[in-house]
Structure 1
Amino acid sequence: MKRLSTGALMVALATACMSAEAQESSDLRRQAFDLLNHPFPSRAMAQDAMILYGRAAMDGDVEAALYYHEIRLHLGVPAGIDETRIVARLVSAPEYLQTLARFVLSQVYARGHGAPIDTAASMRLLRQAAASGLDSARRELYQQLRAGPAADPAEAVAFLRHVASAYQSTMDNLWAMEELAAVLLDGPAPQRDLREGYRWAMRAAHGYIAQRRGWRAPALVAALFEDGLRQDGVQLLAPDPVMAAAWIEITLVHLPRNLDAPPSPLLAAKARLGAVLDTAQRARVRERVASWRYIHPRDLMHEPFDLP
């Protein structure tokens, strides 16, 4: 029988320990998942799930650490485990998990969960995670720049524009397009630019419809055509109930598949516009809907979407 060298034996033991740790972490996460997806969930079940995720996080499960902190924040409860052990495992996370670990650590330092509050360290880690392309980190960085302790509204808008402009036929950037449109259309005066806001609203609307993943951006475009756009006494976009109704109909046809029923704001807009349209205008709405042009998400940034 071949005898293992001391070094080989240590490697084998370490591998076995890691495998056992990974299995235990997987079991804990499965238990937590079952609690959160119980037919009759309760706050107590959610808190138990939080503890299970925390135990998995203490074993080095970075994703479990994220779930632990999200549930704790949602419930607003004190720590039920030694959070310093979670922090230690996050700091020593392997390279392939560094992006997610940095994001979780940014939340740790922002809230003081397992480490003293350190806004500078939180923002540094959050920026690193966002720069690596983690969508949840980019969303959180925008929120912090918009209204956090280190808020910088101008940088927040610049960051949104950067994320939105990097759109590459995924959902990761549509939220930035929609948010940027809202800021430019309805934000503080120094940030307002109705022409650019209109372009981003159109991009977001086409993107969401193409992927059937959202309805608010298309509804925003419908509202722009219903109300029109006016800036400094100049009518940039005249009210056009036909285009508004067409956008409502297009949105209703391309609703997200996970919706059980059309959202009430869309139905209300349809009824409101239907009450003012005459027979000829209704015919034009049908023509607009029939001639609607699908734009592939990868081509959104190449479309000018200038005001009519």
Structure 2
Amino acid sequence: MRGAARRLGHVVVTVFGATLLVWGLLPLTPGDPARRYLNQERVIAPTEAQLAAARAELGLDRPLHEQYLAWLGGVLRGDLGTSTRWDRPVTEVIATHLPATVRLAVATVALALVAAVVLALVGAAFAGRWPDKATGAVALGGVAVPAFLVGLVLIEVVVVEWGFGRVITDGSWSAVWMPAATLAWLPAAMWSRLLRSGLLSALRSGYALTAASRGASRARVLVVHGLPNAAVPVLTAVALTFGWMLGGAVIVEGVFAWPGIGLVVVQAITARDLAVVQGFALVATLMWVGVSLLTGALAAAVDSRLREGTAW
């Protein structure tokens, strides 16, 4: 109970700190926000009276703490402002493009997990032999080869030569697997090495030796006893990767014309559309906090020591 309360306190502090940082994007950005606002309204050379009126309209003439509280009140009501580039509510812009990025992130994590578990099990089962060296070479390739190059090769071979899939994607589940496979290359390589190391450590532990002495096969010891105990560090890595994916894999989204949030945020930054940047940063933070809590719960379910608070 005490651990749950402590984690909840961490969440509250994290979210509060995130709101301060996200709101700080506006006053800390170089230049006059009122002048940028009027320029976006096609007022190229605003007068002092126009600037003063714009500051009053935007609430920039009030003290900073009042500006923050007013912005936070709007966030709590679901009002993230209006996009100056698209002239639409920020919530509508995010709601239109974020699901595609979440879909891509989920598919990427799923593919990377399956590949990492297979590579790690093969490497640990044949440690020091040629299958282990082969999986190590695959992992090294995953780290060394850029994701966009993998995507270009997949498009050239799978789409152009073999005629499967599409170059222009629509953000649906049916079209997600090729860009997901492109992005899964790197995390699968890293997770497989991390999981292999954990499996080898688990094989040398007392419970694994006890299970083997009772007649359990090496495969059973690996899957039943070693895999759950080696999975906790990988779950943490998965949470971090998911957070990175929510930020938008911009290059891969560009290669596959994926209608995700990454390209939208880049366009918003280029256009100095801070409302969209603020809104996305806040939504991504909240989603990452949720994924972290879910990861902690899964890790506690896998490792009883975490439930008891001895290794949290």
TM-score, length-scaled by structure 1: 0.21
Structure with the bigger RCO (C-alpha within 8 Å, sep 6+) is 2
TM-score, length-scaled by structure 2: 0.21
